[in-house]
Homo-oligomer: A and B are copies of this chain.
Amino acid sequence: MKVLIVDDEEMIRAVLKEYIEFEGGEADEAQDGMEAVKKCRDNRYDVILMDVMMPKLDGFSAVKEIRKFSDTPVIMLSARGEEYDKLFGFEIGSDDYVTKPFSPKEVMARIHAVTKRAGGEKKERDVYEFEGLKIDKAGRNVYVDGERAELTPKEYELLFYFAENEGVALTRERLLNQVWGYDFYGDDRTVDTHVKMLRGNLKEYRKFIVTLRGLGYKFET
């Protein structure tokens, strides 16, 4: 389960992250609405925890923005008082809300409720399977026709990101940002080198990684 925590207070983020990871989930953080929207464009989350009061872009506006392209469940974190009223009066497109101060346990309960409600039929999607290519994210395993593929860290992460964004055209820039990290200031072509190695390791399933000339790559089955 992947959760995006959006709050400007580091302490709150840290505590929530701790709880989520304790239950085996994965937590990503954003300091403000702007960052949240950006992260939502580039990643798939199961649920978003969104603070209301934040610099740059407040929680309400961020949700509105995210709703333009995603229906990921959102739980608002709001202080009691002024924002509290808005939560009732506004059509903000959030799925639930928790008022501060909250207990982490309460938040976890809401997360479970929302993800169950939204996911409905789906079970934990931890393993991707594309024909004879099996990608086990939690266990960090990749199998090609039942045989374990030995990938380097970058190759793993690259493949995971591809799998998570099946069918989406990805520019080299975006891949560098998401897989290498925002602080990578190297050559674009580094992606090509890793794609080459990855293709080699995927054997026949190299076909899934399609080159988009002038753009980048796409993982397609």
Contacts and interface: CB of A to CB of B under 8 A. Distances in A.
Contact of A18 (B177, B218, B220): B177
A21 B108 CA distance: 13
Top-9 shortest CB links A-B: A153-B214, A140-B169, A14-B103, A139-B167, A138-B168, A18-B105, A14-B104, A18-B182, A140-B212
Contacts of A178: 21-22
Interface string A148-182: 00001110100000000101110000100110001
B105 A152 contact: no
Interface of A: 10-11, 14-15, 17-19, 21-22, 24, 101, 103-105, 138-140, 152-154, 156, 165, 167-169, 174, 177-178, 182, 212-215, 218, 220
Contacts of A152: 213-214
B104 A18 contact: yes
B21 A105 contact: yes
Contacts of A169: 138-140
A15 B12 CA distance: 11
Identify the interface centre among A165, A169, A215: most chain B CB within 10 Å of its CB. Answer: A169
B15 A11 contact: yes
A143 to B, nearest CB: 14
A134 to B, nearest CB: 14
A47 to B, nearest CB: 19
Given A11-B15, A24-B168, 9 more contacts: A14-B104, A14-B182, A15-B104, A18-B104, A22-B178, A139-B167, A139-B169, A140-B218, A153-B214
A10 B153 contact: no
A135 to B, nearest CB: 13
